[in-house]
Structure 1
Amino acid sequence: MTDCGCEKAKQDLEEYLHHELERSEYADISEHLAHCVDCSDEVHVGRVLTEAVKRACRDTAPEELRSQVITSLRLTITH
């Protein structure tokens, strides 16, 4: 394994967070993160944001609001 460096770690951050890298690339970035506080902080922020987006995507609007939006859209389309 070789230390990939900050530029590579930051460039591939999204793929790293979603486990979309080849094993060797994932291992290189993991090794780098073990020794680089700056990049580790960025990964932490990325994980927090990813989890927030996942939670937000699971939320649904209340039924009354959904009905109002659908009604409004239908009125807009017919006019």
Structure 2
Amino acid sequence: MTDCGCEKARRDLEEYLRNEVCKTQHSDITEHLRQCPECRDEALVARTLTDVVARACKEAAPEELRDLVMAKLREAQASH
């Protein structure tokens, strides 16, 4: 295991967080994040943002809101 450095860790961070890097790259980035507070903080922000977006995509809008939006869309289409 080697420290891959900030540039590589940041460049591959999204793939790392989605487990889309090979085992060697994963180990190298993990090692770097252990040693580098700045990259570790960036990884935490990226992971938190990814988790929040994923949760938001799973939530459905209330039925009343969906009905209102659809009515407005139909109204807008009818006026064109």
- TM-score by length of structure 1 reads 0.91
User: What residue is the counterpart of 1:58 in the other structure?
Assistant: 58
Question: Residues 28-74 of structure 1, C-alpha deviation per residue, up to 9 Å, x if partnerless?
Answer: 10111111111111111111111111111111111011001011111
Distance, in Å, in 2 between the alignment partners of 1:45 and 1:72 is 36
Distance, in Å, in 2 between the alignment partners of 1:29 and 1:49 is 19
Give the share of equivalent positions with the same residue, in percent: 53
Distance, in Å, in 2 between the alignment partners of 1:34 and 1:64 is 47
Contiguous gaps of at least 5 residues in structure 2: none
Distance, in Å, in 2 between the alignment partners of 1:41 and 1:61 is 32
Deviation at 1:2, TM superposition (A): 2.3
Q: How many pairs are equivalent?
A: 79
User: What residue is the counterpart of 2:24 in the other structure?
Assistant: 24
Deviation at 1:78, TM superposition (A): 2.1
User: What residue is the counterpart of 1:3 in the other structure?
Assistant: 3
- TM-score by length of structure 2 reads 0.90
| Deviation >2 Å, runs of 4+ | none
